Structure 1
Amino acid sequence: MADLGLTFSKELILTGIKASTDLEAIETAAKYLLEKGLVKESYVKAIQEREKVFATGLPTEGFGVAVPHTDVEHVNEQTICIGIMENPVPFKVMGSMDEIVDVKIMFMLALKEPHSQLTMLQAVIGMVQKPEVLEKLAIEKDTGVIYDLVMNELENMEIEE
């Protein structure tokens, strides 16, 4: 397993997120991380501001995913929060502020060490390149099942250090 050095549990999987914009979806998950004490109060605004400048939507087979993240100084404990949208939410595509992708799954990263950002992004990209995994994540309501699926994927992943 790639040692990603992060806190992740089924409590950090949010299903049925109701949002009409990317910033609403991001705010929902960011505030949840704040309630859990995993991020600083500044994280909520910082991650939204970063999304406005550096979009994180990724088109994948079937539907889009997003990987919002921000600077390390806003994080208390390194973690990932997975948000499953009730209905797809429009996000701007990474690297293009003109293209839109309808996002069903959001992998929100809260990282304390700058070098871990690339490793975690590699892990998420590895998962999103598997349409069968994304499809299961998108339709599953049981956070325990989602957790097991994600952990299985991470354990079997080859990450370049």
Structure 2
Amino acid sequence: MKISDLIRKELVVTNLEVKTQEEVFKILFEKLLENGYVKETFLDAIINREKTFPTGLLLGNYNVAIPHTDAEHVLKPAIALATLAKPVIFQNMANPQEDVPVNIVFMLALNSPHSQVEMLQQLVNLIQNEDFLKRILNVEGGDEVIKIIKNHTLKED
């Protein structure tokens, strides 16, 4: 399974104006819930997991968070994505005491534990490309984000 198979335009929010990671989580959760991807328990599970296992990645000019939780809270696999109008603070995955101003959030909703490792590897390949991050931050609408992701993942095949 590929990232481009899991990101749908109805799960993408561009230029989102929020102040906290909880606001990001709530908005992406609502998209996942209303489209039948997750259970009601997903939001609390994401928030609680983030407190224990932060997901902020300090990458340079554009930083990313990849919140995810256990498969039991997911009905069918998907990835919700938000590009943020202004960075929101997450804790660093590698050093939880360090703040990371995050620009892009990929919320994983995966219903099998082994698919998480594979998806995380694919995401890491994508997000290491600063040009890719810059491009998705500068587009309006889910269609454009999907197109950029599909084009980028096709180049890697």
> Does TM-score exceed 0.5, indicating one fold?
yes
Unaligned runs of 5+ in 1: none
Amino acid at match of 2:21: D
In structure 1, how many angstroms separate the alpha carbons of the residues matched to 2:12 and 2:156? Answer: 20
Partner of 1:65: 64
Are 2:75 and 1:50 equivalent residues in the alignment?
no
- With normalisation by structure 1, the TM-score equals 0.90
Partner of 2:2: 4
Contact 2:10 2:31 (C-alpha < 8 Å) held by counterparts: no
The aligned runs of 1:8-47 (5 Å cut-off) are 8-47=7-46
- With normalisation by structure 2, the TM-score equals 0.93
Greater alpha carbon shift after TM alignment, 3-12 vs 67-76: 3-12
Unaligned runs of 5+ in 2: none
Are 2:129 and 1:130 equivalent residues in the alignment?
yes
Contact 2:62 2:130 (C-alpha < 8 Å) held by counterparts: no
Partner of 1:145: 144
Greater alpha carbon shift after TM alignment, 13-22 vs 116-125: 13-22
Aligned pair count reads: 156
Amino acid at match of 2:155: N
Contact 1:27 1:48 (C-alpha < 8 Å) held by counterparts: no
**How far has the Cα of 1:26 moved from its partner?**
1.4
User: Aligned-residue CA RMSD in angstroms?
Assistant: 1.5
Are 2:90 and 1:95 equivalent residues in the alignment?
no
